[in-house]
Structure 1
Amino acid sequence: MFRALGRTAARRPWYIIAAWLVLTVLVVAFAPKLKSTTDQSDFLPQHYESIKASNLMSSAFPQQDDSGATIVFSRTDGSPLSTADLTKAGDIAKGLKLGSDYTSVGEVTASDSRQVAIVNVGMADNVTGQDQKDFDQVTDMRHQLTQATHGTDLEAQTTGTLPQSYDQSQSGKNAEAIVMLATIVLILVLLGIIFRSVMAALSPILMVIVAFLVADGFIGIAAKVFDLKADSSLNVILGVVLFGIGTDYFLFYLFRFRELRRKGADHKTAVMGAVERAGEAIASAGGAVIVAFLTLSLSSLGLFRSMGPALAIAVAVMLVAALTLVPAVVNVLGRALFWPSKKWDQAPKDSRGFGAIGSALGKHPTRFAAVSGGLLVILTLFIFVGGGYNPTFDLSSSNSASNVESAQATQTMEDGGLSAGATQPTPIVLTSDSGTPLDKADFTDFQATLSKVPGVAQVSPQAIGSSDGKTALFMVTLKNDPSSDAAISTVKDDLRPAAHDAAPKGSTAYVGGLTGVYVDFQAAMNRDYSVVFPVAAIIIMIILGLVLRSLVAPWYLMLSVALGFGATLGSAVIVFQRIKGDEGLVFMLPILIYLFVVALGTDYNILMLTRLREEAREGREPREAAAEAVKHAGPTIAVAGLILAGTFASLMLGGNSFLLTLGFSVAFGIVMAAFVMAMFFTPALTALIGHAAWWPGHADAKHDEDKELVGAAE
């Protein structure tokens, strides 16, 4: 198959390029766009308690408005609000010209110290918090408040569902632009330095952009057909993944093409031969990444069930482009690809660098395996020692910058002595099990029990009853921000157990709201860890076994990537929990690290092992083959790893703690995968195991591939 693809690229390159251009135009013109959501309840299955509470509220209390926004009033001079100030605040709120998203304006509620006062604004049921009209109403409200408080001693800030969604969206857009710019500049600079060529630096950028446009369209189609929902950070991650692996696959091909040219092959033979030689490694590596991402479809969270297929589609498109578009463009550009370099087709004359590293590894594989493996083990231990890894579920602060208005408004509330939970009270739904009306006489004791729960600021004095009397709604205000770890702990450990136990006989209590959703996220993630991790590992092992035709090699390769995962998470614990002082790492980080490091780390292991096998087929013994593999594949892996790590590191410029943590962690993991696992640990172990590493297929048996390639070209 790879020989046929190479032959087509060598003989009909313009057909391939034209086909890609036509496909891109059609997809951009007609494919639907992927819409994202920040409504976390969209990502949970129906059997979780928060979703049951939400469904009961929708059916029993259709008139009940969710808090769409909270207006926070304070004085500019920092003094307490006077009675006149509170009256003025109420007049300002009532005088707002609100759009259809908002259905009601509440009363002014001041803190005990009167440092701050809030007004909650109700939100309509059909508001998603993602449409442009929703965002326009947020900006319009903020503009009206600025105008209304101008010339007064009052300051008005907004927070709550819609303002937070808007701020998250803006943070995401800013992050996407910054990250993409940093990624492109990094790739251009590094490739320009490495190849000393303008076109070699520009070509992968242009080809990745084509693949990105096609992939984005296909993802939009899949989302529409299968009703997939995406988190607002998907586009940023998608861009980084495509630019990273796209450049990697370009390098896999280009290094092999240049090597064949340096061996004396003519241009078209090298174009074809590079596809045949590098094609299996590229396809196998891409297949491992695709499978790893697809295992996310087994997640119970819609967030991952959507992210996994989306990333898998993107990688599949990039894989096809790497095997067709890349060689076609390389063929068409000819010598211009390496312009203005004049010595690109001349091999280095000295044996320094990777040749020396390979020679040392071949002579002392035990030392290399012990040192590289020991480093991975030491870093992994930090997951467990000294408090170890602590997950945090505070997504609101993770996905937005700390200087956005909604974050500042929440801080103003807390500084002024008002519970941050007042922005979005936690609903508790009490429903009859038998279908008979609830006894209102039981409500007082139920409310009293809830008010005594640690972390609860207050319970609404009046329960809201449904029209049939079978359901009642109690609004609980938490002391902490509804999306904070403290609030999540309150609901999980105290409020839910208390509500369940205090529910009157014949009734059931469900604790919902945003905090309840995050509690259920935690349970869902624990379930996903036990399913996604092992399934991804098993399928990747099967792929490795088929590619390497061995039952032995997949085991120690997966051991290396498992240690790579552990070292990566351990380093994140060191940097962010130990050094930076964060309370924890965002809960989804381990599964993202696992998939990126396992999948992309497997890429480099496959490239190294397939090259080692190739050297063995030329008659070299295991240690000599390992030395040659490091000498020839080492530069490719080093450059690819450096660029891929750099692209993920650009996420750190995204402006929020989630992208900062993800960017550092995956970048560090890629460095571990390229420069420790694939460069040292894997070839050293293979050299030590010897011919047994290829049992039972004997894939390292002598096989003259160069003669076959020349014969096919003739």
Structure 2
Amino acid sequence: MRRRAAKAVVKLRFVLVPLWIVGAVLAFVYLPSIGEAGSSGVDGLLLPNDAPAVQAEELSKQNFQYPLIARTLVVRHDESGLPPRALLEAAQMAQAVREGQLTDLPGLAAVAPVPNVVFEPEAQPTTVLYYLYFRPGVYPEEAQDLAQRFADQHVAPQAEEETFVGVTGTQQATTVREHIIRDSLPLVTMATALLVVLAVGLHFRSPIAPVVNLLTVGIAFIVTSHVLGWLGQTFGLAVPREVEPVVVVLLFGVVTDYSIFFLSRFRDRLREGCSGEDAAERGTADVIGIVFVAGLVVVLATSSLIVAKLSFFQLFGPAMAVAVLIGMLVTVTFVPGALAIGRRFVLWPRARSGRAQGPEEGAAEEEDDHSSDRSLSARVARLSARRPLLTATACVLLLGAAATGLFRYELANPIIQGLPADTGPQRAYAAATEGFLAAGVVAPTVAVVRGPDLAGQPERLEELERLLAAQPGVATVLGPGDLEGLDENAFVTESGDLARFLVILEEDPLDGRAVDTLLRLEDNVPGLLQGAELENAELMFGGDTAISAGLVEGTVRDLGRVAPVAVLATFLTLALFLRSLVAPIYLVAASVLALFAALGLSAYLYEPLFGPNAVSFFVPFAVSILLLALGSDYNVFLAGRVWDEAQRRPLREAVEVASTRAARPIATAGLILAGSFGLLALVPLTTFRAVALTMGLGLLLDAFLVRQLLVPALIVLVGRISGWPGRWLGKRSE
């Protein structure tokens, strides 16, 4: 089957190669790219509509003139103290907005100034926050423009020259983050292209081989970007902005890995004395099945995210699957064709032109090229094959020790703090938190109470407000009369069946501690309502902290749904490829252990590198699926080589020989893939730098420790039964 496929691809080279080039051009011209089709940040793809946090916000939106949650705010801060007139100016500004006097800002519905003395009555006034509320129909981009104009034209002129005035909030931060991702994408693309060109060129010592690889990657990237854009436009799906850089590095890394496998076998066949076309055909036959199965494993594992409930994961997984599927199809058809067309010139100047190398000459050159690498690879393979118990035990202990960092994980949603320190929202956030004891003031939580005749029970609402304020982790609660610029109807509906409060948390509203506080509040709802004698009412929470809490809980639940599907898909693919039910068990187990080690080791490094609570909720989830899928690539490549060698050698010898021969391609592929993902650190957001760190560590552990030491040792330890119920591995003479 593999030989027929290889023969067909090589024979049709003058059709397939131009066809992919023309297809890429047509996709570029006629199909929208990801960005052109419209994209959304992860925060635009949040919880299902029936989530309590979403319902609380919908109730506020439908029954009040405007939401009480302020996702955009202006900060006026002077650490040496604001003048006495500043608080009066803030109150007058709120009154002017309420009376419609700011005709240059028609979309602004209300402004609620909150000075720091609300929390510390005896303190010196240093900071005033202006919560901005917009009229229905105002789009986020328009809201950001209104906020900036309000700050520049109405707050800044009243402030002294040394006073800081800026705009922050989760909505402003989301817009800035999307701009950063968009602006960083060309740099990530160029840096990744340069990495793979240098890596492939040095590996094969040829300037031509990188060109073949770069053409393959370029075709795959163009087709993938525009197919994803077309799918998004056709089905009305906004591909998350966070997906685009990941698609770039994933495609560059995966396609380069697969191309290296083809180029390596092509080179080996040339050294055996084959002609250029014959070397392309026979080399392709050697690896086309492995590459196809490896790509299929990644496609199936990433596709498992479709069973998640959070829409971000439902889009992230299939987008990765489409990217890898297209990349694999381009590689298995374009690269063999290019090799057959270019022949020896593809590896110029290392492959001599004009005559075929004899086996002795080729072997001598191979020894000259890789003598030190082969010597090291042989020693490592010999250690795994001859001391399997010691090797496996040491690897498991090392990986297990690294995995202990899993207990340090604290998921957050660092929309603001994940930005670079010099961005506007981050600077304004720092000014606000410097002026207020409670960091939660930058993104308050809304508590929505629904029940009969609430307007006629003001004492009970006041008691509920007091009980909420007394909860651990809550700094204060703001209700009727506490905010200038907002009248009584902002807190209790005219019908009297709905009331709401602003709950200010002590901690950063988007970090793990604030999420824990919100979850405790939700658990205490029955007691709170009973204490306020409002047993017939409902109490729910909305706002960014409530959404983050829902996302963290939803991520944990989705992990329970997705992980078994991803593991099962990987196991079944390996079982079919190896015709075994035994080997896939420990191969998948080794991948999972490597994944735990990467996550744990990264957790030890997150806080020193990025600060506390800087890791977004989706980082460990998305990384887990990618590492499990990509690690299975190396499972397929290594196990496939061992199975082939075991047909003619004793198992221990087969493992030693196959591990030695597979070591360099796996190491090179691992370094390139880890380097590709490492370049995500060029996006100056802590979320992408966390992905870069975890993926880089995971891929290096997988390529160097797991595939070169642990897996060979496990194959020897389990023995010939690894092939059951198919053919037992190795010659019986062993």
TM-score (norm 1): 0.89
Q: Structure 2: how far apart are the matches of 1:598 and 1:138?
A: 44
Q: Structure 2: how far apart are the matches of 1:700 and 1:187?
A: 36
Instruction: State whether structure 2 residue 457 is matched by structure 1 residue 440.
Output: yes
Residue 713 of structure 2 aligns to a residue in which SS?
helix
Q: Which residue of 2 aligns with 1:190?
A: 199
- Indicate which of 452, 465, 469 corresponds to 2:492: 465
Q: Structure 2: how far apart are the matches of 1:559 and 1:424?
A: 42
Give the counterpart letter for 1:122 in structure 2. Answer: Y
Give the counterpart letter for 2:679 in structure 1. Answer: S
Instruction: State whether structure 2 residue 121 is matched by structure 1 residue 120.
Output: no
- Indicate which of 341, 349, 355 corresponds to 1:332: 341
1:541-690 superposed matches below 5 A: 541-577=571-607, 582=612, 585-617=615-647, 619-690=648-719
Give the counterpart letter for 2:113 in structure 1. Answer: V
Instruction: State whether structure 2 residue 395 is matched by structure 1 residue 375.
Output: yes
Instruction: State whether structure 2 residue 113 is matched by structure 1 residue 108.
Output: yes
Q: Which residue of 2 aligns with 1:250?
A: 259
Q: Which residue of 1 aligns with 2:226?
A: 217
Q: Structure 2: how far apart are the matches of 1:669 and 1:376?
A: 15
Give the counterpart letter for 1:492 in structure 2. Answer: L
Give the counterpart letter for 2:600 in structure 1. Answer: G
Q: Which residue of 1 aligns with 2:81?
A: 80
Change (3 A) 1:206 1:530: same
1:312-331 superposed matches below 5 A: 312-331=321-340
Change (3 A) 1:153 1:86: farther
Q: Structure 2: how far apart are the matches of 1:613 and 1:660?
A: 38
Give the counterpart letter for 2:111 in structure 1. Answer: G
Residue 22 of structure 1 aligns to a residue in which SS?
helix
Change (3 A) 1:21 1:579: closer
Moved more, 252-261 or 65-74: 65-74
Give the counterpart letter for 2:337 in structure 1. Answer: A
- Compute the displacement of 1:675 (Å): 1.0
- Indicate which of 33, 46, 51 corresponds to 2:49: 46
Q: Which residue of 1 aligns with 2:38?
A: 35
Give the counterpart letter for 2:457 in structure 1. Answer: K
- Compute the displacement of 1:149 (Å): 7.3
Give the counterpart letter for 1:64 in structure 2. Answer: P
8 A contact 1:641–1:671 mirrored in 2: yes
1:44-193 superposed matches below 5 A: 44-61=47-64, 63-64=66-67, 66-75=69-78, 78-86=79-87, 102-112=107-117, 113-126=124-137, 129=140, 148=157, 152-193=161-202
Q: Identity over the aligned pairs, expressed in percent?
A: 25
Moved more, 8-17 or 243-252: 8-17
Structure 2 unaligned residues grouped into runs of 5+: 118-123, 481-489
Give the counterpart letter for 1:59 in structure 2. Answer: Q
Residue 45 of structure 2 aligns to a residue in which SS?
helix
8 A contact 2:479–2:491 mirrored in 1: no
Q: Structure 2: how far apart are the matches of 1:451 and 1:363?
A: 64
8 A contact 1:397–1:657 mirrored in 2: no
Q: Structure 2: how far apart are the matches of 1:59 and 1:236?
A: 37
Residue 465 of structure 1 aligns to a residue in which SS?
coil
- Compute the displacement of 1:85 (Å): 4.2
- Indicate which of 347, 354, 367 corresponds to 2:374: 354
- Indicate which of 528, 553, 578 corresponds to 2:558: 528
8 A contact 2:472–2:517 mirrored in 1: yes
Q: Which residue of 2 aligns with 1:18?
A: 18
Residue 407 of structure 2 aligns to a residue in which SS?
coil
Residue 106 of structure 1 aligns to a residue in which SS?
strand
Change (3 A) 1:42 1:596: closer
Change (3 A) 1:554 1:205: same
8 A contact 1:249–1:322 mirrored in 2: yes
Structure 1 unaligned residues grouped into runs of 5+: 703-714
- Compute the displacement of 1:229 (Å): 4.3
Q: Structure 2: how far apart are the matches of 1:363 and 1:665?
A: 28
Write out per-residue CA displacement over residues 139-161 of structure 1, whole angstroms, 9 at most, x where no aligned residue.
76676579857983433111013
Residue 532 of structure 1 aligns to a residue in which SS?
helix
Instruction: State whether structure 2 residue 517 is matched by structure 1 residue 485.
Output: no
Q: Which residue of 2 aligns with 1:259?
A: 268
Write out per-residue CA displacement over residues 268-315 of structure 1, whole angstroms, 9 at most, x where no aligned residue.
222222222211111111111111111111112111111001111111
Q: Which residue of 2 aligns with 1:270?
A: 279
8 A contact 2:9–2:336 mirrored in 1: yes
Give the counterpart letter for 1:9 in structure 2. Answer: V
Residue 408 of structure 2 aligns to a residue in which SS?
coil
Q: Which residue of 1 aligns with 2:7?
A: 7
Moved more, 89-98 or 691-700: 89-98
TM-score (norm 2): 0.87
Write out per-residue CA displacement over residues 534-574 of structure 1, whole angstroms, 9 at most, x where no aligned residue.
22111110100000011111011012112111221221133
- Compute the displacement of 1:490 (Å): 1.9
- Indicate which of 485, 491, 497 corresponds to 2:524: 497
8 A contact 2:631–2:699 mirrored in 1: yes
- Compute the displacement of 1:692 (Å): 1.6
Give the counterpart letter for 1:358 in structure 2. Answer: A
- Compute the displacement of 1:242 (Å): 0.8
Change (3 A) 1:206 1:134: farther
Q: Structure 2: how far apart are the matches of 1:22 and 1:146?
A: 56
8 A contact 2:42–2:241 mirrored in 1: no
8 A contact 1:40–1:517 mirrored in 2: no
Q: Structure 2: how far apart are the matches of 1:336 and 1:136?
A: 57
Give the counterpart letter for 2:570 in structure 1. Answer: I
Write out per-residue CA displacement over residues 365-419 of structure 1, whole angstroms, 9 at most, x where no aligned residue.
253553355234333334447x932222132146422332111111111111264
**Number of equivalences:** 693
Moved more, 335-344 or 479-488: 335-344
Write out per-residue CA displacement over residues 430-484 of structure 1, whole angstroms, 9 at most, x where no aligned residue.
123xx77764343222222122223323322326233433322222222333212
Structure 1 vs Structure 2 CA RMSD: 3.1
Give the counterpart letter for 1:685 in structure 2. Answer: L
